[in-house]
Amino acid sequence: MYHSSLLLCLSLGALVKYAAGSDWCYNGCEHTPSEWDHLDGSFCGEKRQSPINIITSHVEMDPNLTNFNFVNFSSRHVIKSYINNGHTAKYTLEENTTEVSGGGLNATYSTIQFHFHWGDTEYHPGSEHTIDGHRYPMEMHIVSLKKGLSVEQAKVDSAGIAVLGFFISAKEDGNVSAPWGDLVSNLTSIKDNEVPVNYKISLDDLIGSVNLTKFYRYMGSLTTPDCSEAVVWTIFHEPINIHKNLIRLFPMNTGLSNVFRPVQDLHKRQVFASPATPLPTGHPWCYDEHHCACTPPLWHFLPDSHCDGERQSPIDIVTKKTVIDEHLDAFTYTKFDDKHAIKYITNTGHSVKCVLKEDMVEVSGGGLGYVYSTLQFHFHWGDTSHESTGSEHTVDSKRYPMEMHIVNKRKDLTLDEAINTPNGLAVLGFFIEPTDSTKIRSSSGSSSEHHETNPTSSQASDMEAWTKLTKHLSDIQNLSSEVIVTEEISIDDLLGNVNRASYYRYNGSLTTPSCNEAVVWTVFKESVKVDQDLMMLFPIQTGHHNVFRPTQSLHNRTIYSTMSAASAPEPTALFLLLACLCAFPFNFHL
């Protein structure tokens, strides 16, 4: 008995009841929060203080914030005692029974106590942390020390203490949760009287159904004097929901009101979030780790993401496995020849996008079955080297230098409906390759012959249109910048004489987050030919390199092809042959 109360005194007294003699308080005494930095040995005026307001649009996703491991959080025998220490209602745990690790923590932490912050009986909220300025009714702090450290040792370790913060939200109706009902039965206004807890509830009973994979992380301090800057903070995104009558019992039965510290300056700190935490849309995703943490393999963690679905794009088109579909007839293009259809050109941070005027350009036919309105076209590319490749689709594993996507929405649907409908969008994909003359020029060095007639001139597009378009790239170097296009450029000018009757067709997705599986894809077999110097302007002027998503698994999809597929081997015959090889692997020496 003596032994355990000594331990209690050493390990807990210091943490929450710091400087019992030099009285501090939240309200109604000399040392209110704005004066805490004047207390002896106080860190409360330093630059790594807690709590903070979490601004979700400034939060960065951190893939290292993996799931937690909790030991004995489900045990109903770990809560030992309750005390009203004059600042909060605190529940002490049995020593060395309860642990936390994982969740991006670098060590195992032993849980020692939990306590609460709240507002008043008039339902003023009293959480310490706020999210985008929103203060919840209450906040629970589960406090753990780095395993093996004393409180004094933990307080001088920059990650010596791990606090798990849970917001508590007030439910208007529904049942009063039984474990919380038990917990609040202890609340008294009698101060500094440690009483044993005799009900049997676990930490998990209190946490309830909160999703423990969604949380914020930052480095901060204790929120009471001496405000030691030793805390790794975890703030869970989802609140615990309890009945509002229970919340009111905290101020009513303890005689303590508004026991929370105001939010502190972030200074230069970054707040991180686990991958599962929903962050505001427009949250950074990118193609490579030099630009952000959320690269293609992690896109499926983004909120509302479909990026791990089974009909994703782009794909590798294995020509021998394509199936001829005679319904893939010619397209009908409306206003593709309009030289004033482009409204503006913009740098999205991921691509260069040409947005078209509304309700003007259309496409139908081509086996689509609907009329589609053309919204925009944009590009995917590689880097600044001459051999660079950056198309999204590949054909028999060959990646082309660039790819142009003309994005169309079913005319009878709103955009919102379209992105949630399996054929709501139709994208026309064109590969782009250098004109032969410019290819030769880059290796031979002779420079003035590329406008002369050459064998492929019938396929070359109108270089004047591409020159006009790419001239704008220098005006949109800044992210999100846009310029109005006044020059005369039509989509037909850009596509030139490329054969638009010969193409592949499959069901796929958007190739950027949220990767909605709403796209009927058309990938044209013949490539558009453009001067290599002009193609090079995309990576040079925007500074973005290799803006393409890796190819995705086909799963059980079929890629169809137009009749005019002049591919050498008869695809179905070869397919059968392959099937035979697979069926009798031991009869053939492969």
Verify binding: residue 353, Zn ion, rule CB under 5 A: no
The pairs formed by 34-42 with CB atoms below 8 angstroms and a separation of 24 or more are 36/225, 36/227, 39/225, 39/226, 41/226, 42/225, 42/226, 42/227
Structure tokens at 437: 């003359």
Strands in 525-571 per DSSP E: 528-530, 560-561
CB of 340 to Zn ion, least distance (A): 24
Verify binding: residue 104, ligand NAG, rule CB under 6 A: yes
Give which of ligand NAG, Zn ion, none residue 105 binds (C-beta under 5 to 8 Å, depending on kind).
ligand NAG
Interface of this chain with ligand NAG, residues 176 to 235, rule: CB under 6 A: 232
**With respect to ligand NAG, which residue has the nearer C-beta, 42 or 234?**
234
User: What is the amino acid identity at position 353?
Assistant: K
The site map against ligand NAG for 140-179 (x = CB under 6 A) is: -------------------x--------------------
Structure tokens at 486: 């006044």
Q: 3-class DSSP state for residue 445?
A: coil
CB of 475 to ligand NAG, least distance (A): 6
Specify the residue for token string 């991958």. 275
CB of 516 to ligand NAG, least distance (A): 14
d(CA 125, CA 260): 10
CB of 371 to ligand NAG, least distance (A): 18
Interface of this chain with Zn ion, residues 126 to 145, rule: CB under 5 A: 141
| C-beta of residue 330 within 8 angstroms of C-beta of residue 366 | yes
**With respect to ligand NAG, which residue has the nearer C-beta, 53 or 66?**
66
User: How many Å separate Cα 122 from the centre of its chain?
Assistant: 38
Active-site hit among 38, 58, 77, 87:
87
Q: Is 58 a catalytic residue?
A: no
Please report, for residues 178, 242, 246, 350, 380, the alpha-carbon distance to residue 175 in angstroms, rounded to integers and kept in the order given: 8, 9, 11, 49, 55
The site map against Zn ion for 387-426 (x = CB under 5 A) is: ------------------x---------------------
Verify binding: residue 309, ligand NAG, rule CB under 6 A: no
Q: In what order do the strands lie in the sheet with 394-395?
A: 316-317, 394-395, 398-399
Please report, for residues 154, 386, 471, 509, 585, the alpha-carbon distance to residue 536 in angstroms, rounded to integers and kept in the order given: 56, 8, 12, 27, 48
CB of 46 to ligand NAG, least distance (A): 17
CB of 47 to ligand NAG, least distance (A): 16
Structure tokens at 410: 């079913």
**With respect to ligand NAG, which residue has the nearer C-beta, 104 or 309?**
104
Verify binding: residue 544, Zn ion, rule CB under 5 A: no
Number of residues that bind ligand NAG (CB under 6 A): 21
Give which of Zn ion, ligand NAG, none residue 507 binds (C-beta under 5 to 8 Å, depending on kind).
ligand NAG
d(CA 298, CA 216): 18
Verify binding: residue 486, ligand NAG, rule CB under 6 A: no
Residues of this chain that interact with ligand NAG (CB under 6 A) are 71-72, 75, 77-78, 97, 104-106, 159, 232, 422, 475, 477-478, 481, 505-507, 558, 560
Residues of this chain that interact with Zn ion (CB under 5 A) are 141, 405
Q: Which residues are identified as catalytic? A: 87
